[in-house]
């Protein structure tokens, strides 16, 4: 059943407001969007507007190419990145971008976030990848659009499934996460930030730590997301 545009506005507004509540953003350093391919619409946070001032009515509505169709405000400057990911990945319904501290640390270090334990395995089937930096030509030509292209390139290069690995850090930039809807995308951002912190602490305690065994990854990921998943209740979104 096609989504209702007003309900999309409300979900996207609430998801954006939840970013500071979860400690994922300072000032206006983050955005959430939702796509409805049946309606041909994307709803996203307006650029540079404080979270306290967000309402369903001031969310920006665009078509699937990122052209504004409703709203007086400019959309988030990261909209072209969201558009590229939505076009490439039909399974994705919501996207989050933040500059959350711990995840940015790994992005600036140019490192994948390794799989060290079960918290990670419950949501990410393997390391969270770190995409390469953009070239000067990419930055100069269409920076935000090319950021999306670099994320897609990294997933294609590694043969990753964006449903099984619902996030990435872009080198010298920060994290992007996604999910079936905005709420799940935010949830994955919270998990990513927490795992990034856990891993930093882990490496500080034991600089020679090795990734956890594959069988632990398989057990914990598949008990939540596999064909015979048994964790949680039947209507559990997470």
Q: Which residues are catalytic?
A: 122, 231
CA-CA distance, 113 to 109, in Å (whole number)? 10
Q: Residue length, the chain?
A: 238
What is the C-alpha to C-alpha distance for residues 171 and 156, in angstroms, rounded to an integer? 17
Centre a 10 Å sphere on the Cβ of residue 202 and count the other Cβ atoms it contains. 15
Question: What is d(CA 51, CA 64) in angstroms, rounded to the nearest whole number?
Answer: 24
Reading the block at residue 189, the tokens are 């951002």
CA distance between the termini of the chain: 22
Q: Tokens 């930096």 — which residue?
A: 133
């Amino acid at each position: 059943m096609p989504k209702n545009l007003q309900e999309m506005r409300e979900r996207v507004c609430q998801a954006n407001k939840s970013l500071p509540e979860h400690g994922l953003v300072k000032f206006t350093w983050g955005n959430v969007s939702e796509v409805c391919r049946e309606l041909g619409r994307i709803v996203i946070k307006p650029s540079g507007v404080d979270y306290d001032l967000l309402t369903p009515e001031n969310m920006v509505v665009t078509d699937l190419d990122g052209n504004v169709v409703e709203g007086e405000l400019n959309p988030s400057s990261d909209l072209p990145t969201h558009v590229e990911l939505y076009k490439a990945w039909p399974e994705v319904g919501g996207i989050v971008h933040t500059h959350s501290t711990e995840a940015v640390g790994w992005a600036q270090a140019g490192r994948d976030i390794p799989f060290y334990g079960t918290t990670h395995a419950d949501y990410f089937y393997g390391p969270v990848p770190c995409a390469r930096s953009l070239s000067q030509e990419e930055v100069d030509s269409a920076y935000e659009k090319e950021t999306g292209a670099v994320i897609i390139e990294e997933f294609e290069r590694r043969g990753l499934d964006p449903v099984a690995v619902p996030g990435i850090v872009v080198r010298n930039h920060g994290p992007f996460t996604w999910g079936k809807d905005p709420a799940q995308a935010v949830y994955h951002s919270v998990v990513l930030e927490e795992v990034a912190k856990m891993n930093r602490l882990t490496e500080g305690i034991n600089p020679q730590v090795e990734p956890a065994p594959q069988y632990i990854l398989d057990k914990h990921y598949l008990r939540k997301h596999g064909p015979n998943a048994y964790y949680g209740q039947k209507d559990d979104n997470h």
